[in-house]
Chains A and B, each alone.
Chain A
Amino acid sequence: MTTAERTAAPSAEVALADGGPNRAAAGKGRPSTDRLLNALYLLASLTLLTLTWQFVSWIVGADVLPGPWASVAAVAQSQREGFLWSDMGITAYRIAGAFLIALATSLVVGALLGRIRIAERLFGPWVTIGASIPSLVVIVVVYLAVGIDDRAAMIGTALIVAPAMIYAVWDGVRAINPDLQEMARTFAVPRHIILRRVILPQTAPFIFTAARTGLSLTWRIMIFVELLGRSSGVGYRIQYYYNLVDMNRVVAAAVPFIGLMLAFEFVVLRPIERFVFRWRRSEAQ
């Protein structure tokens, strides 16, 4: 299961609560009871997931999928042996690098494709083709071309992730409403202010979507990239223990990073999103 899929269930519940009984209060800060309710739902969801995990572990056997407790114990063991944090650190570093490359690429390419008709016609199909190249081919070619190092891992991952992000930015640029620009022009608003205060805010939701899907995709791809050509990081550790058929340690390698990604989603992304797009929440009224 992926990070995105794991977060899908709680986010659906949060969204329901958003549109539900507290609609009238939207945009003015939410009553604390609603926050409590959301937190309880999230807790219930996570508990249910843990129980399901335990159940599946029973069905397929603990030697294939270790249960939650065994996994936590294995994480603790990795920590005692001293490579838990260094693995996570190096993987996080590679993910950050790949993500930034992919984000910068998608912003530039998406903006060009969305704004310039000839660029869209000539290079639009390239994005589709790029999206359909098998990830493995990209990784292998980049490793051979650049050398088997962290730089190649970042570039390869970025190339695989970029098409999906380009699509999101491209859509956002196309969705810019010319009516608002027209309004600003009649009021003699200078061009740089139109760009900053009329055009950019319209694309912000799409850039946010691009960043979010891009980040979760980057993490999933990076594991493969590490597995294929790096001798450190979460992906390497998974491969190493898989070869030793130590499934406890395989799961233990992945779990802390999943936790880190989830924490990033809930502690960083969600609050930012909530604040930046607070004007959208009331739209259903």
Chain B
Amino acid sequence: MSARLVFTDLGRTFQSAHESTVALKGITITLEPDSFTSFVGPSGCGKSTLLHIAAGLDTRYDGLFTREPANATLACLFQQPRLLPWQTARGNVAFVLEARGIARRDALRRADGLLDLVGLVEAGGRFPAQLSGGMQQRVALARALAVDPDLLLMDEPFSALDELTAARLREELVALCTSKARTILLVTHNIQEACYLGDRVIVMSAHPGSVVAEIAIDAPRPRRLDDPRLAEYAGSVRDIIDRCEPTSRSRGVAA
């Protein structure tokens, strides 16, 4: 069952010995079941903090956060693949299945099927160090799909890849993840990517991290990267970001 995420007046302050930094403030937003939401904004706008809270990794927030159903299955795709280097590709996929109590043999068989899905069936016996960055991220995608998540969280999953690999993986991601009802949250600093993938783009600004705009992306799927409507959406997102922070272009927001 697809999950619903509700953030109500959510805040997060990081305390260090000398100062306190407000990473998030007054975030009120609902992610409906079976929706694809992109969060975009400059570095330091707290979008990764938001994802950590959604993943349940960070519980020291203020305000309210609920995940319905509470036992929704979760999967994460990070900027780095975060594979276990001492496990083969299939061992890495099987790992999350075994942790759910599936016998190793069955887990490995299912892992092979998932690796086939991401086009890596022949690389199943290789260790992560023997795979390219794109292949590693594919293994991570297979691992995320292995648990058949109700909620898929992605933290800049394509930003460490070259653009050609990233473009191909984005397409595969759409094909693989949207075939079934699931709630997807993507955090990115790539405006085009946010518009291309999301049903809705949430624009955030920094200091403190807060939501400045919500834009519904009304473009039919399957989408094309060169769709002029997407370019228009990307343009308006960029305008919003520029208005909030005139210098944001030089602070690492990809156009």
- Interface residues in B64-83 by Cβ distance below 8 A to A read 73-76, 78, 80, 82
Other than the given A183-B76, A188-B100, 14 more pairs (CB < 8 A) read A182-B82, A187-B76, A187-B96, A187-B99, A190-B99, A193-B98, A197-B99, A201-B86, A279-B85, A279-B86, A279-B87, A279-B127, A280-B85, A283-B85
Contact with B along A139-157 (1 / 0, CB 8 A): 0000000000000000000
A184 at the interface (CB under 8 A from B): yes
Q: Which of B73, B99, B128 contacts A184 (CB 8 A)?
A: B99
Chain A residues with CB under 8 Å of B74's CB are 186-188
Contacts A179-B82, A198-B84, A201-B86: A186 and B55 contacting too (C-beta < 8 A)? yes
- Chain A positions 253 through 285: 1 when the CB is less than 8 Å from some CB of chain B, otherwise 0: 000000000000000000000000111101101
Q: Does A61 contact B (CB under 8 A)?
A: no
CB 8 Å contact bits of B40-77 with A (1 = contact, 0 = none)? 00000000000000011100000000000000011110
Distance, CA A198 to CA B87, complexed state (A):
10
B187 adjacent to chain A (CB < 8 Å): no
Q: Are A285 and B84 in contact (CB under 8 A)?
A: no
Check if B76 sits within 8 Å of A180, measured CB to CB: no
**Pick the contact of A285 from B76, B80, B100, B129 — CB < 8 Å?**
B129
In the bound complex, residues from chain B placing their C-beta under 8 Å from that of A197 are: 84, 95, 99
Contact with B along A172-191 (1 / 0, CB 8 A): 00000001101111111110
The A interface is mostly helix, strand or loop, or mixed, namely helix
B75 touches A193 (CB 8 A): no
Q: Are A282 and B127 in contact (CB under 8 A)?
A: yes
Known: A187-B76, A187-B147. A193 touches B99 (CB 8 A): yes
Q: A282's contact among B80, B84, B129, by CB below 8 Å, is which? A: B129
Is A89 an interface residue when CB atoms closer than 8 A count as contact?
Answer: no
**Residues of chain B lying within 8 A (CB to CB) of residue A279:** 85-87, 127-129
Assuming the contacts A279-B127, A279-B129, asked whether A189 and B85 have C-beta atoms less than 8 A apart, the reply is no
- Identify the B interface with A (CB < 8 A): 55-57, 73-76, 78, 80, 82, 84-87, 95-96, 98-100, 126-130, 143, 147, 153
Which A-B residue pairs are the 7 nearest by beta carbons? A189-B99, A186-B76, A183-B82, A279-B127, A283-B129, A187-B96, A279-B86
Closest residue of chain B to A183, judged by CB? B82
Interface extent on A, as a size class?
20 to 34
Q: Which residues of B contact A193 (CB under 8 A)?
A: 98-99
Inter-chain CA distance A8–B157, complex, in Å, is 43
State whether A189 touches B96 (Cβ < 8 A): yes
> Given A179-B80, A279-B85, does the pair A188, B99 have CB atoms closer than 8 Å?
yes
> A201 CA to B86 CA in the complex, in Å?
8
Give Cα A280 to B87, complex, Å: 11
Quote the shortest CB–CB distance from B144 to chain A (angstroms). 8
A182→B55 CA distance, assembly (Å): 10
